[in-house]
Amino acid sequence: MPEPIVQIRELTKFYRHGEIEVTALDCVSLDIHAGEFVALMGPSGSGKSTLLHIIAGLDQATTGDCIVRGVNVGNLSETELADWRNTHVGFVFQTFNLIPVLTAFENVELPLLLAKLSAGERREHVTAALELVGLGDRSKHLPRQMSGGQEQRVAIARALVTDPTLVVADEPTGNLDAHSAQEVLTLLQTLNRQDGKTIILVTHDPKAAAFAQRTIHLEKGQLLNGNGQSL
């Protein structure tokens, strides 16, 4: 079996609120392989978003290692992390988070402004990403001129445009109606199955988790086994 693309080793994360220390992740170890579609499930406060943030290089663990494609993310400086995220991670958020003054095309193009690509190359990548999510004809639309489902698909295109190692999606259907949520999850599943994208999905919805190949349950910062017991 090939080496995992993501290796989490004894990861802990504490937050300090004044005198009180809160444990968000408690000695979590986990492997994710290339081409997997993994759902991180758990109730609110279980640590699933914290784990996702650490894997995506948005947050630092208190102890333990998070190695993505051989790079220990915890050892990177802020500037290195920013560059790493641009190259290796595509983000999809619950609230879409498109820049309202930019068109769909420009929103998708945004991560590529940091890459050393010509305008023509950027155009090719963006067009391909928008075609992939089925919005090739909406490239000139502003976010306010699109439905929620369409906005989220633009966000997915933005996440894919740099061809990242990982696509991380934090409750991507939380703000969508049932039909749009189905469309978005199907799209993520298709990207995983047809294009081999490694996707990590955070959700508390079992229906959404069903689209993933593997579901990892968290509770109180710990991974649970299939019987609902801490590992």
Which amino acid type is present at position 127?
T
- Smallest gap from Cβ 107 to other proteins, in A, equals 9
Per-residue x/- track, 81-120, other proteins (CB under 8 A): -xx-xxx---x-xxx-x-xxxx--xx--xxx-xx------
**Of the candidate residues 53, 125, 138, 217, the single one contacting other proteins (CB under 8 A):** 53
- Smallest gap from Cβ 22 to other proteins, in A, equals 14
- Smallest gap from Cβ 131 to other proteins, in A, equals 19
Binding residues with other proteins: total (CB under 8 A): 28
Please tell me whether residue 205 binds other proteins under the rule CB under 8 A.
Answer: no
Beta-strand ranges (E) seen in 146-219 are 166-170, 198-203, 214-219
- Smallest gap from Cβ 106 to other proteins, in A, equals 5
Paired with 206 in beta bridges are none
Please tell me whether residue 13 binds other proteins under the rule CB under 8 A.
Answer: no
Q: Which residues contact 158 (CB under 8 A, 6 or more apart)?
A: 90, 98, 107, 108, 110, 111, 129
Please tell me whether residue 58 binds other proteins under the rule CB under 8 A.
Answer: yes
**Dihedral over alpha carbons 32, 36, 41, 45 (to 10 degrees):** 50
- Residue closer to other proteins by CB (options 158, 197) is 158
- Residue closer to other proteins by CB (options 111, 149) is 111
Please tell me whether residue 71 binds other proteins under the rule CB under 8 A.
Answer: no
Q: Which residues contact 8 (CB under 8 A, 6 or more apart)?
A: 28, 29, 30, 31, 51, 54, 55, 64, 65, 66, 67
- Residue closer to other proteins by CB (options 89, 187) is 89
**Mutual orientation of helices 119-132 and 148-160 as an angle, nearest 10°?**
130
Please tell me whether residue 189 binds other proteins under the rule CB under 8 A.
Answer: no
Rounded-to-integer distance, Cα 27 and Cα 11, Å: 5
Is residue 55 within a helix (H) or strand (E), and if so which, with residue range?
helix 48-55
Distance of alpha carbon 188 from its chain centroid, rounded?
11
Return residues touching other proteins (CB under 8 A). 53, 56, 58-59, 78-79, 82-83, 85-87, 91, 93-95, 97, 99-102, 105-106, 109-111, 113-114, 158
